[in-house]
Amino acid sequence: MKIEDLLIFGKSHCHSDHAKILLAELINKNPLELLNCLDEVVDEEQVEIYKKEIIALEEGKPLQYVIGNVNFYGNKFYINENVLIPRFETEELVENTIKLINEYFTEPVDIIDLGTGSGVIGLTLEKKVSTKTVDLIDIDKKALEVTHKNCGLLNSKANIVESDFFDNVGSKKYDVIISNPPYIKDDEEIEDIVKSNEPHIALYAGIDGLDCYRKILSTVKDHMKDKCIIAFEIGYTQRKEIEELANKYLDDIKISVKKDLSDKDRMLFITKGL
């Protein structure tokens, strides 16, 4: 079949932009190039793959899972249904954390990414700031398989640890502790496409959505260096409760909250000794 025929097929089953992105990814072209090569013939094996992927989209599978990768902060990361699809809000968390690291640290830093999933947070920080060590932590073996693959793709030297947050970390202390943990309430309504496709272990966190923040903040003190940044992505209604948890478990800290581009409280930073 020709590219033109495949695009017609794709557009009859899903959004035209998705049809173009999917085909471009499959045949290794820029989506903008497709209109210049409509008569090009695609081999039968790729035709069958494309048709199956289009039907998967039509049935509600997210585009990122169908493609199998996502661009995050300028790097391509492998993902599958065992990890969350990275959001732009998480890029904002990383961007603001990079700014803080560059502002307060002149020497290479020790970083831990708690609940790392695909590894996008920790691996991006490893690329963008001077690091001594980067530890990528997750409780889910299947998620860590994705983490491991992305470490290989990005030639990372990060350490991968299977752990429920700090449980298997030992006594190591860090300059930067960062996490985008599960923070959705167990009974909270979310988009069907998210609820039906993304891993619930990475989404839900108890009756009030705060279970993971409690676990991290109740044990984080033993893992903070004298100068330390804690960076969280948070639910936009959770600011007050997380501030209270931080003040309950930590002394002599400063707390700041930044809004995302939708003007919602989304990033909470705790600094000590800075």
User: pLDDT (tens digit, 9 = 90+) per residue, 141-199?
Assistant: 999 999 999 999 999 999 999 999 999 999 999 999 999 999 999 989 888 989 999 99
Say yes or no to pLDDT of 9 above 90: yes
Question: Apex CA 258: angle with CA 194 and CA 83, to 5°?
Answer: 25
Task: Give the amino acid at 156.
Answer: S
Q: What is the pLDDT of residues 83-112, one digit of tens each?
A: 999 999 999 999 999 999 999 999 999 999
Contact predicate 105/175, CB 8 Å: yes
Phi-psi map region of 45: left, alpha, beta (phi>0 left; psi -120 to 50 alpha):
alpha
Contact predicate 183/239, CB 8 Å: no
Q: pTM for this one?
A: 0.91
Q: What is the model's pLDDT at position 33? A: 84
Contact predicate 175/226, CB 8 Å: no
Contact predicate 179/112, CB 8 Å: no
232: Cβ contacts below 8 Å, ≥ 6 apart? 93, 178, 179, 180, 181, 213, 242, 267, 268, 269, 270
